[in-house]
Amino acid sequence: MKIRTMRYFISESLQSFWRNSFMSIASIATVALSLFILGIFMTMVANLDYFVDNLESQVQISVYLKDDLTTDQVMSVGKRLKELPDVKEIQFTNKDQAMDALKERMKDQPGILAALGGKNPLPSSYEITFTNPEAVKKTAAIVANYPEVESSHYGQAIVEQLFKITTIIRWGGIALIIFLTLATLFIISNTIRLTVFARRKEIGIMKYVGATNWFIRWPFLLEGLLLGFIGGLIADFALFQFYEFVTVAIHESLAFLPLVSIYPFMYQTGGILLVISMIIGAIGSTISLKRYMKV
């Protein structure tokens, strides 16, 4: 492409941008708004995912050992547990440590401790955490069959419920993102269709005097890219402000909720949104042009 031609395309797209400034602003506002909404959903889904990951990583099995084991037997159980698939970490708690922990928890109600009469009814135990939380159920069943093990516990009902919910949230989130991307594409291509419609006469004349299709397409493509770029920037800016505000607000009121930290997550999300908005702008303008190119 000649430099002069490129300059022509750029000046044409900028001119059309200014000439239809009202429409351009409307397009940018639409792009910005829909991408902002898309961005909110993306951050929501990412945070839900993060939250769920967090919950899942906290799922663990407590393995209570029989009371009369030798140190060797206890060590051997630990060794076998470590070799089970998907086990991340095991932690041993002996009877005395368990008692200390109980005392600490119950220090406001000394009556309960007194009722034990100085005896320690608590078993020694292993706490198992997992790299893959789905392995919890299977592992619990295996461990319960060890002769040294009194019983193994995890929040069965709760964990299964949790997995059902998180699966729904993940797939629902993905479906929502796809839906919103398509909706945004639709809105943008419709908005650019207005620009194209306003210039259909020009396009017709260009076709009649023998301009090539790409020559006609380029200025619209650039305009679409520009609209997408500016709209995407505004959406990014708004999303940053929004996320920062929400992060601060949640930290103040619901401090226990884990949130994805702004860096690098928001920069990635912002970058993705910007790329999406430019691609959508370019595709949208090309789609809208198609009808009027058929002269």
Partner 1 sequence: MIDLKDVSKMYDNGSAALDHVSLHINKGEFVFVVGASGAGKSTLIKLLSHEELPSSGSVVVNDTEVNKLSKSRVPYLRRKMGIVFQDFRLLPNKTAEENVAFAMEVIETPRRVIKERVRTVLDLVGLAGKADALPQNLSGGEQQRVAIARAIVNRPLLLIADEPTGNLDPETSRDIMDTFKKINHMGTTVLMVTHDKQMVDMMNKRVIEIVDGKVVRDEQKGAYGDEN
Cβ-contact 179, 270 below 8 angstroms: no
Q: Which is nearer to partner 1, 8 or 229 (CB)?
A: 8
Q: Which of residues 70-129 bind partner 1 (CB under 8 A)?
A: none
CB atoms within 10 A of CB 110: 10
Q: Count the residues in the chain.
A: 295
3-class secondary-structure state, position 247: helix
Distance CA 146, CA 89 (A): 19
What is the Cα gyration radius of the chain?
A: 31
What mask, x for binding partner 1 by CB under 8 A, covers residues 13 to 32?
Answer: ------x-------------
Tell me the one-letter amino acid at 288.
S
Q: Which is nearer to partner 1, 23 or 77 (CB)?
A: 23
Query: 288 phi and psi, to 5 degrees?
Result: -65, -30
What mask, x for binding partner 1 by CB under 8 A, covers residues 173 to 202?
Answer: ----------------------------xx
4 binds partner 1 (CB under 8 A): yes
Distance CA 241, CA 186 (A): 26
Candidate list 18, 22, 208, 256; residue touching partner 1; CB under 8 A: 208
Q: How far is the CB of 292 from partner 1 (least distance, A)?
A: 13
Candidate list 85, 155, 172, 204; residue touching partner 1; CB under 8 A: 204
Q: In the structure encoding, which two tokens stand for residue 257, read together?
A: 């909720």
Q: Which of residues 209-268 bind partner 1 (CB under 8 A)?
A: 209-213, 215-216
Give the residues lining the site for partner 1 (CB under 8 A): 2, 4-5, 8, 19, 201-202, 204-213, 215-216, 295
